[in-house]
Structure 1
Amino acid sequence: MTQSTIKHEVSFVGAGLHSGKDSRVTILPAPSNFGIQFYRTDCEGENNCIPANFRNVVDTLRCTTLGNSMGLKIKTTEHLLAAFVACGIRNAKVLISGEEIPALDGSAREFVLKFLESGLQNQGTPQKILKVLKPVHCEDTSTGAHASLYPSDTFEMEFTIEYPLPIGKQSKRASLVNGSVVSSLSSSRTFCMNGEIEYLWSNGLGLGGNYDNVTIVDEQTNKYLYPVRHEDEPVRHKMLDAVGDLSLSGYPILGLFVGYKSGHKANIEILRKLFSDDYNYEIIDAPDAISSKLPGMKAQLSDLPEI
């Protein structure tokens, strides 16, 4: 397997989910071993770059925020990062004119659609992968949330969430091979409780949310205010978030991620635990039998579900 980038420049414009402010994101092809790097085009100087790496995560409240030593930040990176994984894009230069990635429809679907329409360019450079060697765990005792990574022959995910009805307890396990992130997870939108909205707004969060890009639950009636795209859309979205967050390892992961009520905080913490001991993992060239099943390999437009 070789690394890949997009064939053509693509752009997105829209309001950020939390800030409500418009920004323009342009994704450019990038050379081999470049990885995913963000550039704040509204900030002058040479220090406007923020590489997509878990070490650069500066906040995990309601989204994953990356930052650099100059204090520049980019919020809500997880859906775009998940789209890169879904399509098998390993290298890309991301130009952004503001502090937050556009929410678009609240999922990764619109990113994935444009990436697949653009097509990918194979770069001829071997792709390395991260192989989990030993189980690692983390837990947030204040919420009961926990996350784990285990050795596996593919990238797998098992996730459980618990919320008031109509969400209730939802569990899903998936082998995230080839186009499965595109088909199973990419169109699932973020969600919140109706009773949270005033709190979020008063804290400067969710200002760009609306009925089109957020699945809203009314706790009074125990119903969704608008139809969901999947019966288990909330747990699928949590898995989508985790795909984006785990990509901050810098490599495709060969391992099983298990999350219980896990959010951005636990997703990033499990990466910190993983990298805290060199015996937990190894970085290897991807054998053909494994690389042919990595997320994004053979992904195509027909994998994208209709909505």
Structure 2
Amino acid sequence: MDLHQKTIKKKLVLEGIALHSGALVKIALIPSEENTGIIFLRTDLKKNSVIKACWKNIVPSSLCTKISNQYGVSVSTIEHLMFSFYALGITNLLIEINGPEIPIMDGSSKIFIDEILNKGLLNQKSKVSHLIIKKTFEVGDKDRFIRYEPSQTNSLEIDYTLEYKDHFIKKQNFRSKDVRKNVLDIAHTRTFCHQEDLEKIFAMGLAKGGSLDNAIIISGNKILNQGGLRCKNEFVKHKTLDCLGDLYLSNQFINGKITCNQGGHELTGILLKKIFKDKKNYTIESSDLSVNFKEKSFNSEEIQVVV
């Protein structure tokens, strides 16, 4: 099914705590022209401040997804925001941010999606391009892997399994034949952590902004959050949310089947890079547009599209 490119109707400003740095961060989502894609702009920097949300720019990071441009300027913890764009079909948007990390909000994508919908979505004239991946790809091993398989459907099927050797999460599975029809059912699921792992995470200099307001904390056979879980199998559904947000760094709506067992940000990034490593692995049914940035300026008006 052909889908039109999409942006938002009005500028949206959000503020919140960054999960890992603990800093107060402000982001502005700004409507963008057709064929410009998802672009981050670091307003706290005077140059080299533009970072395209793209698989090419994924760099290694602990406990989050991070992208960086050729100058080493980065933005991290983008996965929940990217899922929001995927869920709503947003293809073109400028995100101005005054620091290196997206605010965590409530630990899910719900606030992002709710606030975007309050501003409204705008359908654009151009059609989205269609990515056709020609064969099966898998990365990982028998215990921890992510696999892509092509299919003849115009949908994405997902089968995600999560297993912990604890007394609470244990083994969970989430399956959907057409996950784009179920995205709003998983959008409210939150990131999580075992209490026993917090000391190690803090020692890494991470999760400085973490709290019961933005993460589920598991202690033994219970959770510490008042109100309990938001839904059955919230943990595996959140991991599915992360996976879909990361997959959207393909800059496409991928069709086919994703099977994942004990996956994570790193494996999803490796899968994307393996697929796109050779142009013989895929085709894109659309005009081939490239984005060029005048990196000398950090003003959003300096971002131009070149056909």
Look up the SS of the partner of 1:170 in the other structure.
strand
1:197 equivalent to 2:198? Answer yes
**1:152-179 deviation digits (Å, cap 9, x = unpaired):** 3111211001111210000111134555
- State the match for 2:303 in structure 1: none
Counterpart CA distance in 1 for 2:283 and 2:167 is 42
Contact 1:134 1:279 in 2 (8 A): no
TM-score normalised by the chain length of structure 2: 0.88
Contact 1:186 1:240 in 2 (8 A): yes
Per the TM alignment, residue 12 of structure 1 is displaced from its structure 2 partner at its CA by 1.1
- Alpha carbons of structure 1 residues 247 and 140: separation in structure 2 relative to 1, 3 Å: same
The aligned amino acid for 1:36 is I
- State the match for 2:168 in structure 1: 166
Counterpart CA distance in 1 for 2:138 and 2:61 is 18
Counterpart CA distance in 1 for 2:179 and 2:17 is 31
1:34 aligns with one of 29, 33, 36: 36
The aligned amino acid for 2:125 is G
* More divergent stretch after superposition (117-126 vs 271-280): 271-280
- State the match for 1:82 in structure 2: 83
Contact 2:41 2:50 in 1 (8 A): yes
- Alpha carbons of structure 1 residues 271 and 178: separation in structure 2 relative to 1, 3 Å: closer
Counterpart CA distance in 2 for 1:171 and 1:284 is 33
The aligned amino acid for 2:114 is L
1:133 equivalent to 2:150? Answer no
1:12 equivalent to 2:14? Answer yes
Counterpart CA distance in 1 for 2:72 and 2:89 is 30
Per the TM alignment, residue 279 of structure 1 is displaced from its structure 2 partner at its CA by 3.3
Counterpart CA distance in 1 for 2:68 and 2:244 is 20
The aligned amino acid for 2:257 is L
Look up the SS of the partner of 1:213 in the other structure.
coil
Q: CA RMSD for the aligned pairs?
A: 1.5
Look up the SS of the partner of 2:33 in the other structure.
coil
Counterpart CA distance in 2 for 1:283 and 1:207 is 41
Specify every segment of 5 or more residues in structure 1 that has no aligned partner in the other structure, as ranges. Answer: 286-307
- State the match for 1:53 in structure 2: 54
**1:63-114 deviation digits (Å, cap 9, x = unpaired):** 0011112221111000000000111100000000011000000000000001
Per the TM alignment, residue 11 of structure 1 is displaced from its structure 2 partner at its CA by 1.3
Look up the SS of the partner of 1:253 in the other structure.
coil
The aligned amino acid for 1:150 is E
**1:194-253 deviation digits (Å, cap 9, x = unpaired):** 00111111111111111121111113xx21222111120010000000111000111111
1:278 equivalent to 2:279? Answer yes
Look up the SS of the partner of 1:110 in the other structure.
helix
**1:8-35 deviation digits (Å, cap 9, x = unpaired):** 1111101111111111000000011110
Contact 1:41 1:48 in 2 (8 A): yes
Counterpart CA distance in 2 for 1:13 and 1:131 is 37
Look up the SS of the partner of 1:252 in the other structure.
coil
Counterpart CA distance in 2 for 1:254 and 1:179 is 13
Per the TM alignment, residue 145 of structure 1 is displaced from its structure 2 partner at its CA by 1.3
- State the match for 1:99 in structure 2: 100
1:226-241 equivalences in 2 (<5 Å): 226=225, 227-241=228-242
Look up the SS of the partner of 1:116 in the other structure.
helix
- State the match for 2:4 in structure 1: 2
Counterpart CA distance in 2 for 1:119 and 1:76 is 24
Look up the SS of the partner of 2:86 in the other structure.
helix
- State the match for 1:242 in structure 2: 243
Aligned-residue identity in percent: 37
Give the number of aligned pairs.
280
Specify every segment of 5 or more residues in structure 2 that has no aligned partner in the other structure, as ranges. Answer: 287-307
Counterpart CA distance in 2 for 1:63 and 1:90 is 22
**1:263-283 deviation digits (Å, cap 9, x = unpaired):** 000010110111123333221
Contact 2:161 2:174 in 1 (8 A): yes
The aligned amino acid for 1:268 is G
- Alpha carbons of structure 1 residues 239 and 207: separation in structure 2 relative to 1, 3 Å: same
TM-score normalised by the chain length of structure 1: 0.88
